[in-house]
Chains A and B, each alone.
Chain A
Amino acid sequence: MGAYLTRRFLLMVLTLFGMSVLIFVMLRLVPGNVADILVDSAGIADPKEKAKIIAELGLDRPIFDQYLQWIGGLFRGDLGFAYVSERPAIEEIAPRIPISAKLAGLALFFSVILGVPLGVISAVRQNTGLDYFLRVLSLSGLSLPSFWLGLLILMASVQWFGMIPIYTNEPRSFIDEVLLLSIPAAAVGFRSSALIMRLTRSSMLEVLRQDYIRTARSKGASQTSVNYEHALRNALLPVVTIIGIEAAFLVGGLIVTETVFNIPGVARFLVEAILWRDYPIVQNLVMLIAFIVVTVNFLVDMAYMALDPRIKFAD
């Protein structure tokens, strides 16, 4: 186990290093840099002014030097300066992380809390009216784009309640914040919950046809015990995998939702930074996302062991 963990840790470090090189090089392959864009935003394209900005930002230095400076800074906890705002990148990124983290957490919570139980119900009530309804609901969840759903929610709120649940002022309390974020979280989590529901259903159906389920039933176990203690636990393995993947995909969903609900989170900020070729912001944020994805993957692998004692990680 110890050797496995060490191997996984080294693999994580290697993945993150690969990511850092990839993002650094890819960003510089995209046409235009921040100097082009800063000058372009003023409606001019003066090569002298552009060259001055390039020199000021150190973009004229060899790419390897630039990479070393960034990575070195990262190890020292120095994320560099944002090109556009000219403020330390950490000051730009740090306040936005908790907002997106809460939104993503809530969205994931909604998708699991809805997706798993509804998937189980749909499976145990297979081919009933309720099953059909839940399948249609999940299909709509998969096919409705979250920005469209978000706009519908906003329009309905304005029309029926005369208010709009967008983020204009910092919420006064934690409860206020949870309430404010729960609507966009539901909008973004709807798709994930549909996916989780469909996967839980199919996984449950497969497990419910296993011999040991029949044995449990013949031993007189209650329906609830069969469904939740015997079947669900075994059906959860693929579901946990998909939850892990969805956690990473949520970032994509957040970009749109943060824009529609005007939430000042990292996802929207990342897109803006990419458009401006604000390398320090993009590089650091992508590395953060990569770190989260790698960590979640690791935790999912660990969860397999807890869910299925038969799984052992060989040393």
Chain B
Amino acid sequence: MRTRLAAVASGLAAFVIASPAFAQKQGGTLRISHRDNPPSASIHEEATISVIQPFMAVFNNLVVFDPKEKINSPDKIVPDLAESWSWNPDQTKLTFKLRSGVKWHDGKPFTAKDVKCTWDALSGKADEKSDLIRKNPRKVWYNNLKEVTVGSDTEVTFTLGRPQPSFLSMLAAGYSPVYACHAQGRDMRSKPIGTGPFKVADFKRNESIKLVRNPDYWKKGLPYLDAIDWKIVPNRSTRMLGFVAGEFDMTFDSDVTFPLLKDIKAQKADAVCEPRPSNVNQNILINPESPPFDKPEVRRALVLSIDQKPFNDILFQGNALSGAAMLPPPAGFWGMPKEMLQTLPGFASDVEKSRAEARKIMEGLGYSKDKPLKVKVSTRNIAIYRDPAVILIDQLKHVYIEAELDPIDTTVWYTKVQRKDYQLGMNLTGLGVDDPDTAFYENFYSTSDRNYTSYKNPEIDKLIDQQSAEPDREKRKKIVWEIEKKLAEDGARPVIVHNVAATCWTPQLKGVVLQHNSIYNGWRFEDMWLDR
């Protein structure tokens, strides 16, 4: 009898565990505060979480990082619009078998032509008249993409110039949705259509974004929510108070700084808050065309002056992560181990020793306490940029660099950077995918649009190409660390800290899985539900 009861009980337990869908509730509107006005709704044209977080739920990718996993890893990529994929033997052709019966939000069928059309536009091979994508911040991602060919309505092949193991990871990023070929660019920017779980009902600039459930979503039974209501609330204090008062179910991603986290927990004890690395790092732009920063030794002295601790303590209450160009482990998949990191300039534990070395370099160049090097630190005139710039200015004094803050109207920041109209700049860099290809090709490859300092090093270019083609992950990691080391030694965008910030939500919101190595992924919202 006892055995039979135990069998029934274990059977029931197994049933309950295996059927989580029974617990989920359908319906409800999720209310989220948005920090600012998204420049447009077209994910491919923008490079900000302000666009991707609300609009990723409108689209699907071919493949996607497993939304149930916190760490985006090349081993955890799952099918989305593609049912399966396969590489040819020499790893240069990636063929996707696509789902059939998928419809765009306007009822038209999704086919392989849409995939071709999207990546033709992204790699600059689209018809001259096509206005699907007007600007393309991630052009460099597809430098190795030679062509996209349609086999049938449900088969599409990406042909690469050489093997590139990370190509699939890039397609799995939130930044890689499939666009509708028949859509107009203007519509994609204001009221886009996708195949995703939510349709755009309304996008009122400076006011709100309303997404409603797509009843024809190809994943049956999903999404659980009826609607997502984003309210654009530019004032952070109002956003936080709104969350505490129950006006919002969730804060904007990584909107909660550590001091604010304390306030929220004090006022709304049941709030679920998760601090996590955002894979956004604070770094210094050193203009190598502006003397004396054309001299490698001055760049080195500058890097040696940095003490990360005050940045971390003041801005993150000690919670930020120390790392080089790649996000450090355990959240980061590719970053170098701590013991290796400490051998890089700017990361040594004995800061005073490093600064003494820096002063020696500066003295050798004719600078001293009485005759300091006078420079300007330019940065966007917003607090998250300005605050670290002020700390940097203070630290530079230790190595005879007298710096002055030069706050730049945020809207013309990159234009100024492109003109090389700065000496030093404080910058933030976010990575769409925790992958060396995106990090290095975007920020350090000599031909990239987003290589803001125009850093040119043929040896680094070669190493970047080499790691990109390396199929063995352990060997590739070693090349990646070598690149990180050389970049740090060259003073190429020296990283100060990797940001960590929190996102909070009401306990009634279930199914939230924040991705720990990129804030730009995992915002499909199809598995989230409200228990109320």
Contact = CB atoms under 8 A, between A and B. Distances in A.
Interface of A: 31-32, 36-46, 49, 52-53, 56, 82, 84-87, 92, 151, 154-155, 157-159, 162-164, 166, 168, 259-262, 264, 268-269, 272, 275-277
Interface in B25-59: 31, 37, 39-40, 45-48
Contacts of B234: 259, 268
Contact of B231 (A154, A168, A260): A168
24 contacts: A32-B415, A39-B135, A40-B411, A41-B46, A41-B48, A42-B135, A43-B137, A45-B417, A85-B205, A154-B238, A157-B245, A158-B245, A159-B267, A164-B238, A164-B244, A164-B247, A166-B242, A168-B231, A260-B235, A262-B233, A262-B235, A264-B208, A269-B206, A276-B411
B231 A45 contact: no
B313 interface: no
Contacts, number: 125
A32 B412 contact: yes
Given A46-B135, A164-B241, A86 B189 contact: yes
Nearest to A147: B235
Contacts of B48: 41, 43
Nearest to A263: B207
Interface size class of B (residues with CB under 8 A): 35 or more
B144 interface: no
Given A166-B233, A264-B208, 16 more contacts: A36-B415, A39-B135, A39-B415, A42-B47, A43-B450, A44-B47, A56-B134, A87-B190, A155-B241, A158-B244, A159-B267, A164-B244, A259-B235, A259-B238, A268-B206, A272-B206
A41 B418 CA distance: 13
A179 B337 CA distance: 58
A232 B231 CA distance: 47
Interface string B399-420: 0000000000111111101100
B134 A277 contact: no
A164 B411 contact: no
B136 interface: yes
Contacts of B186: 86
A272 B414 contact: no
B267 A166 contact: no
B267 A42 contact: no
Contacts of A155: 241
A137 B206 CA distance: 35
A261 B46 contact: no
A52 B450 contact: no
B449 interface: yes
Nearest to B42: A42
A99 B62 CA distance: 44
B237 interface: yes
B219 interface: no
A264 B205 CA distance: 9
B412 A154 contact: no
A57 to B, nearest CB: 11
B263 to A, nearest CB: 10
A84 to B, nearest CB: 7
A32 B134 CA distance: 19
Contact of A38 (B39, B237, B267, B418): B39
B238 A262 contact: yes
A42 B46 contact: yes
A117 B95 CA distance: 79
A157 to B, nearest CB: 8
Interface in B188-212: 189-190, 204-208
Contacts of B409: 31-32
B414 A151 contact: no
A31 B207 contact: no
Nearest to A164: B245
